Amino acid sequence: MVIPLEMGWRHLLFENWPVDLAMMDAHLPDALEVDEHDGAAWLSVIPFTNVAVRPKGLPERAGIRLPELNIRTYVIRDGVPSVYFFSLDAQGLASVVGARLFHHLPYYYARISLDVEAAPEGAEADGQVRFSSRRYHPGDRPAEYEATYQPTGEPFPAPDDPLGSFLVERYRFYTEAPDGTVRYTDVEHDPWTLYPATAEIESNTVLAADGFAHPETDPVYFYSPGLDVVASRSERLEDRH
């Protein structure tokens, strides 16, 4: 990133599958190692919306809303557990172009909608979320994802849950730039609060578009209302000598 950014991540579904370690390793740059939980790598699809995206230090009213869908896995480098993004589909064309040119992020232009129903009276969590994304990026194969999801049960601190902590308590992400270099960004935010979740996935071709067969196992779902985030500048990962 050219400058640090502030934003909020809201109405997130974490759809997660355990997958084969060797298969995931083949999809990663050589500089990164697969991180594992219960003997498996994990592949996640995450629909949500960014809110108040803006340069650090500006007021929230100066920010923009940016619905997004990302495909990610979990890696480790120099002992630091991190996230690796395979793709990030987003609604705003100008934001996608800027992210690709200046922030070295694998964003794809998509048309995305996210609608949240009002929660039942007295409920602490959000109501049902309806999410729809269709990728229209020039030169890239189409992809779509449609889902309806909602929190269930009681909230819990992610650090208190082994799988929840593995999936979300990560404060660095990596991407591979178009020139083949690996880049990383550090993020700051409070610990996550998660809910068990239910989801009905009506369409998912984003995994195939990113080169993955759809996992045969059932996914594990978590939901979060979200949190506020500060993201650092993007830095190039130096090769080991």
Q: Classify residue 210 by its DSSP letter.
A: T
Closest to 105 (Cα-Cα) out of 1, 230, 210, 226: 1
> Could you report the per-residue pLDDT of 183-239, keeping only the tens digit for each?
999 999 999 999 999 999 999 999 999 999 999 999 999 999 999 999 998 889 986
> Could you report the per-residue pLDDT of 226-240, keeping only the tens digit for each?
999 999 988 899 865
- Of the chain, the percentage scoring pLDDT greater than 90 comes to 73
Selected residue with higher pLDDT from 144 and 126: 144
> Could you report the per-residue pLDDT of 92-115, keeping only the tens digit for each?
655 555 555 555 678 888 999 999
Per-domain residue ranges of the chain? 5-233
Residue 102: the pLDDT is 52
Residue type (1 letter), 61: R
The tokens describing 102, both together, are 């200046």
Q: Which helix (H) or strand (E) holds 167?
A: helix 162-168
Hunting for tokens 């994304």 — which residue is that? 133
Strand partners, 104: none
Residue 126: the pLDDT is 77
Average pLDDT over residues 26-53: 97
Residue 41: the pLDDT is 98
CATH superfamily, region 5-233:
Acetoacetate decarboxylase-like (2.40.400.10)
Exposed/middle/buried for 39, CB within 10 Å: 0-12, 13-18, 19+? exposed
The rounded distance, in Å, linking the Cα atoms of 84 and 32 is 9
Cβ-proximal residues to 159 (8 Å cutoff; 6+ apart), any chain = 165, 169, 191
Residue 105: the pLDDT is 73
Average pLDDT over residues 40-63: 94
